[in-house]
Amino acid sequence: MLLADAKRGFFTTDETRRIQEQLDDATYWSLPYYERWIAAFSALLVEKGVLTEAEIAEETERLVAAGAHLVPEHPHDQDHDNDNDHDHVHQPDHDAAETVLSPLRLRAIAVRERLVAHGIIAREEITAEIERMDGRGEHLGARIVARAWTDPAFAALLARDGNAAAEGLGIPVTGTRLAALFNTERLHHLVVCMLCSCYPRSVLGRPPAWYKSRAYRARAVREPRAVLAEFGLRLPDEVEVRVHDSTAENRYLVIPERPAGTEGWSDQRLALLVSRDSMIGVARARDPSSVEAS
């Protein structure tokens, strides 16, 4: 993100996609998601003359000599991800039993070290960006949904300009357009990114692994009702299912229907009913009985 921001602008999301799409099928599908991105952005930095392959290789050798390629031992019963409440098959982003970093993950560290050495990026910027990203999550999207349920004027603004509505709640959305999709009794929205994993990270945090999986990206468009059924959501035939393909410029946030029996609830309490999955469109809002009176 820092390398593609307005300050540096070394490459665009579309350019990283171009590099990834040039990979042969065997390589593409053998690489974990984030390693494909590492391959893309490091290749672009070389292509644009920011770094050279020689200095990346030299830095990689230095890291190996220093033992930086070794993975510290940790209790694997604590391994987790952010979609562990689903049993859908997906490609893992890492091997929990690995003892050394993969070549591409080591390459990412080498690239980072060379960028810092050149003064292109500062370690403090990296730390700040990590902290900013860690602060994002579905609780922000839930705040937006809850306010839309209780404030018609806010809901109208959200429908017109998602970025302005989010920023009105102190939730910055930059670099992309946020569009709100309102579910109704007759219309249900489902979000997917057919090309990669474009996702409203500003309001939902990191995408779950199943959202990035090849199966979801292909089947959500082709057979959305079957996919929803696998998530436990079976919609009546009279309800239209509309699938939206996220892009590098546009992000979508589903506004689920407000559950009945929640009249008079505060925004804070209503937000507890809003799950990540409901804001992607693979679930409804939680049942009010699941939230204790507050």
**Predicted local confidence at residue 284, as pLDDT:** 97
Q: Which residue has the tokens 């925004």?
A: 267
The DSSP 8-state label assigned to residue 96 in this structure reads T
Task: Tell me the domains of the chain and their CATH numbers.
Answer: 2-134 (1.10.472), 138-290 (3.90.330.10)
Using CA atoms, how far apart are residues 38 and 21, in angstroms rounded to an integer?
14
The DSSP 8-state label assigned to residue 137 in this structure reads S
**Predicted local confidence at residue 50, as pLDDT:** 92
Amino acid letter, residue 67: G
- By CB atoms closer than 10 A (0-12, 13-18, 19+), residue 33 is middle
How much is the pTM? 0.65
**Predicted local confidence at residue 98, as pLDDT:** 58
Helix (H, G, I), strand (E, B) or coil at 157: helix
| Residue 59: partners with Cβ closer than 8 Å, 6 or more residues away | 110, 111, 113, 114
Q: Taking Cα atoms as reference points, which of 98, 70, 94, 69 lies closest to residue 80?
A: 94
> Which active-site residues does the annotation give?
193, 196-198
Helix (H, G, I), strand (E, B) or coil at 239: coil
**Predicted local confidence at residue 277, as pLDDT:** 96
**Predicted local confidence at residue 97, as pLDDT:** 42
Distances (CA, A) of 290 to 57, 269, 273, 276: 54, 11, 8, 16
**Predicted local confidence at residue 34, as pLDDT:** 79
Helix (H, G, I), strand (E, B) or coil at 188: strand
**Predicted local confidence at residue 52, as pLDDT:** 96
Specify the DSSP element, H or E, that contains 216. Answer: helix 214-222
Which is it for strands 187-192 and 250-255: parallel, antiparallel or unpaired? unpaired
Beta bridge partners of 172: none
Which is it for strands 187-192 and 177-182: parallel, antiparallel or unpaired? unpaired
Could you list the pLDDT tens digit for every one of the 294 residues in the chain? 555 555 667 777 778 888 888 888 888 888 887 788 899 999 999 999 999 999 999 999 999 999 888 876 543 333 333 443 333 333 444 433 458 889 999 999 999 999 999 999 888 888 777 766 666 688 999 999 999 999 999 999 999 999 999 999 999 887 789 999 999 999 999 999 988 788 999 899 889 889 988 889 999 999 999 999 999 999 999 999 999 999 878 999 999 999 999 999 999 999 999 999 999 999 999 999 988 654
Residues in the chain, overall count: 294
